[in-house]
Structure 1
């Protein structure tokens, strides 16, 4: 990007300096102006609070102050959400290892010894300002991503409302629109339309083998492609990450079940109601260790238990950003290990009992 605005290192930065000695503030102010920055000079933390906002790019903080020492002030700054990640430089005459460790524990990023040397100040300030600009760039990207997701979700809701309006007269148009929306979520996850076809037919096969009425089998066939529709609300940085997710990212990823249920919820259209059930429950596990509700056993809707078996099998046998496809043999070995923990034993046994039909579907919709 071209250097202009708050992300340009050469543009003036607002630097808050807190020191109870006015002469020290005058010296710091002159040094910062000499470096081309805008100093905000305060004699106490209480006075600085009204200026401490996201426009501040860095804080220079004296350690030895009579009212509240610099360690305490640094801790308080880290407790203010809006500025918790602002870089802090401790200005101190303390040189012991214990004092410096105490400053780091309080939230300081760096130190400058008194008397302040202009060259040292420039180097340390420049380094932390670069770090701050990188953080701000990430925040800006996240904000744009969240806005984009909100727009997509809003557009999706509008599309579904249109589907609901037309459901009384054009059922076939309903099904096509819903499948296209499901495809949009799958393509966002770098999956294919073949995944939807395979997964829905595995589900219908299981529903039939479990002696569900023909009408319910058809509902499962048509609704199961919507199982991951909530992924449209997950940031691409998480959804397409080619590595293991962090615990924080995994919490966000799990929300796709809730997003999907919200998107499909409150409908008078039975197909969407079944889709809502599947979207919300297909990651629940038989032993209660799944998400989002931690349901166990028969408390998990049968549609969700069916979808869990079909979805896991297709995920294991498909290539993903974070893994290669497993063979059928390896995939079945993994699934057998999950019998009675991840999967409903009865549903898994039905799946394994007619695996020839599963393979037939697999061959018909090969990637």
Structure 2
């Protein structure tokens, strides 16, 4: 335990330091001027401060006030030592943060008792601080494990939904990471980027409720069939909405709105412009780009330049122009992701650190 001793009289400092040696595990750090003492406290947090009231350049009350303003020094026990027994001074010292007082001349027995009490208080504080830090680490660890399990469950459910469609798990990973990159270049926070990365794979989970005869039809859908197909957006929302999970709720919003178009011609709500949730506007760009540039049983993969031209043509109509600009700003990262998660890698190896890019 480190005790800071401050008194402008060297003989008083020497006496106090000698008395402190009688206390086990107690180390004294002494000063005869307030300014160097404050400077030391700025880089070191003492366990107890003993400060004289009457000092020429700065009195003890002002020292305590300035000491309390230092980071980490708000709750450190402070013992004021003074020859002044006036109540007004005590009230003033208490008001700026003094915890206890000793009146000169100092009684050795009283000094040791009060000092031990103060150090016992500080030990309790340190124990609680250490306990709080330990609990915070454990809570974060447990939360991280829960989030990891939740992410894996969502990934596998999303992959199960896509397994009924000519899509792949690699598609899920690509479009989710594309979405995160777009969010990054839109200036979204790292927390929102991570949330979008985790929620984007759920965009088509409503396809579990679409009949195979429609979902797997190789040719163009009839008007009635397309009406049924469009229901997957609302079905996905119904599956995911109302959860206590922030991730699932974000997934619900994306599932419902990722087929909305910036000009209002999309479905299911015909939303327009910024009325479409931002996450859904982002996912719309990521999903369409990956669909265009991926080979499927019913189509060949588009060339990158052709897909990019399609996105540019759709800016302001199908897509949010800001999302297209962010996509283009992150194009190098997006193409790296596309190359990393190819269809032939579509297995368990694709799940893991990808969710933390």
Matching residue of 2:167: 191
Q: Per-residue deviation at 1:191?
A: 1.1
* 1:345 maps to 2:321: yes
Q: TM-score scaled by structure 2?
A: 0.55
Bigger relative contact order (CA 8 A; separation at least 6): 2
Give 1:234's aligned residue: 210
After superposition, what is the alpha-carbon deviation per residue over 1:265-284, rounded to whole angstroms, capped at 9, x for unaligned? 11111000000010001000
CA distance in 1, matches of 2:308, 2:318: 13
Deviations 1:223-270 (CA, angstroms, capped at 9, x unpaired): 000000001111111111110000000001111000100000111110
Whole-angstrom distance in 1 between the partners of 2:331 and 2:253: 26
Moved >3 Å (runs of 4+): 166-169
Distance 1:261 1:300, change over 3 A: same
1:319 aligns with 2:295: yes
**RMSD of aligned Cα (Å):** 1.6
Matched, 1:302 2:282: no
In 1, the alpha carbon distance for the partners of 2:315 and 2:147 equals: 38
Larger radius of gyration: 2
- TM-superposed CA distance for 1:169, in Å, is 7.4
For residues 6-45 of structure 1, what are the structure 2 equivalents within 5 Å? Answer: none
Kindly indicate whether the alpha-carbon contact (under 8 Å) linking 1:167 and 1:174 is maintained by their aligned counterparts in 2: no
Instruction: Give the deviation of 1:354 after TM superposition.
Output: 2.6
* Structure 1 unaligned spans of 5+: 1-165
- Spell out the pairing of 1:190-339 with structure 2 (5 A cutoff): 190-339=166-315
Unaligned runs of 5+ in 2: 1-141, 344-357
Hey, what's the Cα distance between the residues in 2 that align with 1:239 and 1:188?
7
Aligned position for 1:173: 149
Q: Residue 241 and residue 321 in structure 1: after superposition, are their counterparts in 2 closer, same or farther (change >3 A)?
A: farther
Distance (whole Å) between structure 1 residues aligned to residue 310 and residue 145 of structure 2: 45
How far off is 1:353 after superposition? 2.4
CA distance in structure 1 between the aligned counterparts of 2:165 and 2:295, rounded to whole angstroms: 11
In structure 2, do the counterparts of structure 1 residues 169 and 309 end up closer, same or farther at CA, with 3 Å as the change threshold?
A: closer
Partner of 2:332: 356
